[in-house]
Amino acid sequence: MTHAPEKTTSEDPPVLLTLTPTHPYFHPSKTLPIPPNQTLAIGRFTGTDETLPAPDNGYYESPALSRRHCVFFSASSGAGCARTLHVQDLGTLNGTYLNGARLGAEGRVSVPVCVESGDCVVFAHNVSFEGVLYTSVEVIVGVEV
């Protein structure tokens, strides 16, 4: 079960999340709005049109990722406080990593962790299966609140 973001008002503008790959020849950069009280799912392309990787969604063509890998959401610590961006692993096999540290144990939903501009997030780790290497997706995060 994912963490429910603390309520913000619908008048709050969306947080803009930029995911810039460290290896741009693998994946394009993405700038994604996260409206108040909503999550942005990151996951693997599954062969359907709704999960087709695009600059305006959180899907990637990498078999190392889970279908629903992690979520980003914004939250406020209270009235008048600044909103912050959080990431949460959804109990994946190959993990989500923030600045080199895995979020949570394999198979368990992690606690949400605050993310800031300049942080490095890695979705999964490289996986070798039957002689084929499936690469992780490594991005540098940009946050506009």
**67-81 per-position pLDDT tens digit:** 999 999 998 766 556
- Is 5 among the domain residues? no
In a domain, 78, yes or no: yes
What is the number of structural domains in the chain? 1
Find all residues with CB under 8 Å of 16, minimum gap 6, and list them. 31, 32, 33, 34, 142, 143, 144
Residue stretches of the chain with pLDDT short of 70: 1-10, 24, 77-81
- Percent of the chain exceeding pLDDT 90 equals 70
Residue 118 domain-assigned (yes or no) = yes
Residue 102, in any domain of the structure = yes
Q: Do the domain assignments include residue 99? A: yes
What CATH number is attached to the domain comprising 31? Answer: 2.60.200.20
b/e per residue 77-94 (b: at least 16 CB within 10 A)? eeeeeebbbbbbbbbbeb
CA 26 to mean position of chain CA atoms? 17
Range of the domain at 140: 15-144
